[in-house]
Amino acid sequence: MAAAGPQPTIRSTPQPGLRRSFLVIPRPPQPTPTTVSDALFDTQACLNCGAALSGPFCAQCGQKKAARMGSSTVRKEAWERFRWFEWNTLRNALRVLPQPGTTAREYVLGQRKDHPHPLTLLFLSIGFLLIVLGHTDYLRPELPSEEAQRMVALVALVAGYSKWSFSLGAVAAFTSMWLVFRRWGYNVAELLALALYCQAVFIALQMVNQLPLVLAPSPGLLKWHKAWSPWYMTALQTLMLVVALRQFLVLDWRRDGWRLLLAGALFAALKWQATQLYARAVVELVLWQMGA
């Protein structure tokens, strides 16, 4: 009987769907807490892309060598990078919405080429918000009598001063984060940058909040909106501030949760009190200007 020859080896090729199921998707690197100091910026490497610097500008990404933020830095960079109608500005501004703290952190640590300047972003968002508010007539005060309704000058003054009330969120955000986190190594300008990014997100939320008045305007809806909007918008902005602080400072919920809650509570209280004081001041100022 003839000896059996070697058996052929059968190789099975996995199907494409099965092959993809074994692929391991690498997780993105997690940010780590970084101590901000002047020594961090005393380097010959680009803080945006990491390439070696041979001059004032990076040969790889084109960013100017970053210096630590201060009052002069904010003023100069706001002027140099002020562009209203630029697609890159709009695209990068949209990235701030879900990650205001991460964007502010990267900007403060030197990655400034691909991020909008906080003042530029704030002015851009305020401009869009005023367009929406002008369409909904949201800032027009409700006056009790027909005689008062005819006081066009009074209405215009109140509406004009009310436009600045949307900047109170930045003041409350900066004050709360400075009171709680002022000893964490960040200076006033760096915390202010985070507050301005947060304020831009607050304004974006306000524009979304105005959409029902744009799509289905009615006096009843406007009255309900003015009565209840400050309550739920303050809660939503407080939540966004807490998330931004956690992203910016790379905090742990279990270890630093009480600090985040404290900063959020301070923000809500300061914003509410500042809004009440500002409204009272506007009324007194308008009455004084009208000679009442």
Looking at residue 54, the DSSP 8-state letter turns out to be S
The residue among 37 and 177 whose pLDDT is bigger is 177
What is the CB-side half-sphere exposure of residue 103 using CA atoms within 13 A? Answer: 24
The residue among 113 and 34 whose pLDDT is bigger is 113
Mean pLDDT over residues 152-165, rounded?
58
Alpha helices in 66-187 (DSSP H): 71-80, 87-96, 100-108, 118-136, 146-149, 152-162, 168-181
Q: 260 falls in which pLDDT band (50, 70, 90)? A: very high
What rounded mean pLDDT belongs to the chain? 79
Percent of residues in the chain assigned helix, strand, coil, to nearest 5: 65, 0, 35
Nearest CA-CA partner of 69 in 101, 32, 107: 107
Helix (H) or strand (E) holding 286, with range, is: helix 253-289
pLDDT in tens, 279-292: 777 777 767 766 65
Six-digit token pair at 185?
A: 């190594």
User: Which pLDDT does position 6 carry in this prediction?
Assistant: 53
Nearest CA-CA partner of 65 in 82, 40, 45, 37: 45
User: Which pLDDT does position 101 carry in this prediction?
Assistant: 94
Q: Is the dihedral of CA 84, 206, 170, 285 positive or negative?
A: positive
Backbone torsions φ then ψ of 52, nearest 5 degrees: -70, 140
Specify the pTM.
0.70
pLDDT in tens, 199-237: 999 999 989 998 888 888 788 888 888 888 888 999 999
Nearest CA-CA partner of 96 in 221, 220, 202: 202
Grouping H, G, I as helix, E, B as strand and the rest as coil, residue 190 is helix
pLDDT in tens, 178-205: 999 998 989 999 999 999 999 999 999 9
- CA atoms of 10 and 105, how far apart (whole Å): 56
- CA atoms of 94 and 270, how far apart (whole Å): 27
pLDDT in tens, 70-129: 777 666 666 665 554 456 666 777 888 899 999 999 999 988 888 888 988 888 888 888
- CA atoms of 144 and 198, how far apart (whole Å): 36
